[in-house]
């Protein structure tokens, strides 16, 4: 698991990029066009709480309940391991900007109040350190409390999506992926109060992928393999070892299905109404728009166990065993001249594979992308930014922006972590005019951070005819406020 080691962490890159954003804000303010304000949106899966825990420098597998009791110690360990990242966020807050954490499928525990309080307190402490410990010694306790409260107000959490005053919707995007969606993203709990309902994605991460050794969960291609791909992987990494790839797969896959069946919670209208009301209150979006938004969710995989079995290869394994059993019984009982008919059973497996093809991962990502357009209509938004797919995107369509923040995770094509998947780090950077609200003109788009500077990857939206046009593809001048979204 080399990708989990400190040298491959993006912390220093994120910190350098955030410092550059702060400098851009300061330069914009110095130009005399009013104070430039930044809203930094961390678009879900910033913290990987599904990964194995590290105890005494060793990875330890776990299947602990996803409750505050276990989430808080895990988050404490993560924050302690990434001081560079937290200090960089503290400097953003200290400059008077806002940081927004959106829950993703790997850090859904950010919906828990105890986890939010912990993260907020650490960022506020980092902000105070950046301000040289302000408030100054000698200040009264009420003044110190007010200073902390003012900094804490700039650390915002969103369980589902974030909506800006200028009409930008930012959301992780897992709600349109059946393997990672929750019935009630604002209150994602199961039968036990305070314990988060497992999804197929979270179970697979904890019970299957993390226990199979040489897979990088940040790179789908490393574990979404064909039958020949898994065979080659086994021959390369397991053939001459004492570990069993087949055993880890069989046990993990069966436990995943059992947990989904055991913990299944049918939809309840009262809880759905509670979820929608909580989202409207947290984001300020109209309740009717939130309800239209929720209708776009993919039903959780626990409602489609056939799809789960197909994805985990359990259907093919069961059919293969059945085909072998039928063929053996036929060979034992049938006359010799009918022995070739035993091949009918294995042939049935081939026919099944052809008639019931496995849904490719790209189809799920396309569903997420299509959902962004529908979300824009539900909220009459002017921009929609997702994450989740790990694929950076950005395009202007009819004056609306649709983007994906990609990923800053330790994604490498090889086990040795020498070939990064992406040569540059993506983020979405949108700018708007100050004080104009929903009528503000948006500009910007997909940007990459590479070699210490920002590079625009999508052309800014063309301005109205009466305004001065900017060179095609050139990043427009910064305006206040600016919204930058990224996923780490």
DSSP 390-405: S-EEEEEETTEEEEEE
Confidence class for position 105, pLDDT limits 50, 70, 90: very high
Q: Is 41 helix (H, G, I), strand (E, B) or coil?
A: strand
Contacts (Cβ under 8 Å, ≥6 apart) of 427: 17, 405, 406, 446, 447, 448, 449, 484, 485, 486
Q: Which pLDDT score is estimated for 461?
A: 54
- Using alpha carbons, select from 175, 196, 241 the residue that is nearest to residue 69: 196
pTM for this model (two decimals): 0.86
The whole-angstrom separation of Cα 323 and Cα 417 is 41
Where residue 484 falls among pLDDT bands split at 50, 70, 90? Answer: low
Could you tell me how far CA 148 lies from the centroid of its own chain? 29
pLDDT in tens, 204-232: 888 888 777 677 777 777 667 777 777 88
pLDDT of residue 279: 96
Q: Is pLDDT larger for residue 70 or for residue 33?
A: 70
Instruction: Return the pLDDT at 388.
Output: 92
- Mean pLDDT, residues 27-56: 83
Secondary-structure breakdown of the chain: helix, strand, coil percentages, each rounded to the nearest 5: 45, 15, 40
In percent, the amount of the chain with pLDDT more than 70 equals 88
Average pLDDT along the chain: 84
**324-329 long-range CB contacts below 8 Å, 24 or more apart?**
none
Contacts of residue 244, Cβ cutoff 8 Å, sequence gap at least 6: 238
């Amino acid at each position: 698991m080399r990708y989990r080691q400190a040298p491959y962490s993006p912390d220093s890159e994120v910190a350098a990029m955030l410092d550059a954003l702060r400098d851009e804000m300061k330069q914009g303010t110095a130009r005399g066009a009013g104070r430039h304000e930044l809203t930094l949106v961390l678009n879900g899966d910033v913290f990987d709480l599904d990964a194995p825990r590290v105890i005494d420098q060793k990875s330890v597998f776990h299947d602990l309940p996803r409750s505050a009791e276990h989430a808080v110690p895990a988050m404490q360990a993560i924050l302690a391991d990434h001081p560079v990242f937290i200090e960089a966020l503290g400097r953003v807050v200290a400059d008077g900007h806002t940081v927004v954490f959106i829950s993703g499928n790997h850090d859904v525990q950010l919906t828990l109040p105890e986890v939010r309080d912990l993260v907020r307190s650490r960022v506020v402490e980092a902000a105070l350190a950046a301000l040289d410990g302000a408030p100054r010694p000698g200040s009264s306790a009420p003044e110190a409390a007010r200073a902390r409260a003012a900094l804490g107000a700039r650390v915002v959490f969103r369980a589902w999506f974030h909506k800006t005053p200028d009409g930008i919707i930012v959301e992780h995007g897992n709600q349109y992926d059946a393997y990672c969606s929750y019935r009630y993203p604002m209150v994602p709990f199961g039968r036990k109060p305070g314990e988060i309902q497992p999804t197929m994605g979270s179970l697979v991460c904890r019970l299957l992928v993390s226990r199979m050794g040489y897979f990088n969960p940040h790179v789908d291609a490393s574990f979404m393999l064909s039958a020949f791909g898994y065979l080659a992987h086994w021959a390369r990494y397991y053939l001459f070892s004492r570990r069993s790839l087949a055993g880890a797969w069989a046990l993990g896959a069966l436990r995943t299905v059992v947990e989904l069946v055991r913990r299944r919670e049918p939809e309840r209208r009262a809880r759905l109404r509670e979820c929608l009301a909580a989202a409207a209150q947290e984001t300020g979006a109209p309740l009717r728009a939130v309800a239209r938004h929720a209708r776009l969710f993919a039903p959780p995989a626990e409602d489609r166990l056939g799809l789960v079995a197909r994805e985990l290869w359990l259907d093919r394994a069961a059919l293969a065993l059945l085909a072998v059993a039928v063929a053996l019984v036929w060979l034992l009982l049938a006359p010799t001249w009918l022995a070739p008919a035993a091949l009918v059973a294995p042939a049935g497996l081939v026919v099944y594979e052809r008639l019931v093809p496995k849904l490719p991962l790209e189809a799920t990502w396309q569903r997420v992308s299509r959902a962004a357009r529908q979300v824009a209509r539900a909220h009459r938004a002017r921009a929609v930014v997702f994450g989740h797919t790990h694929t950076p995107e950005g395009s202007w369509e009819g004056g609306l922006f649709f983007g994906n923040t990609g990923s800053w995770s330790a994604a490498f094509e090889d086990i040795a972590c020498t070939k990064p998947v992406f040569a540059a780090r993506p983020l979405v950077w949108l700018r708007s005019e100050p004080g104009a609200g929903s009528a503000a003109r948006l500009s910007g788009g997909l940007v990459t951070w590479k070699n210490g500077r920002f590079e625009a990857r999508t052309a800014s939206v063309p301005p109205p005819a009466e305004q001065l046009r900017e060179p095609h593809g050139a990043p427009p001048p910064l305006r206040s406020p600016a919204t930058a979204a990224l996923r780490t």
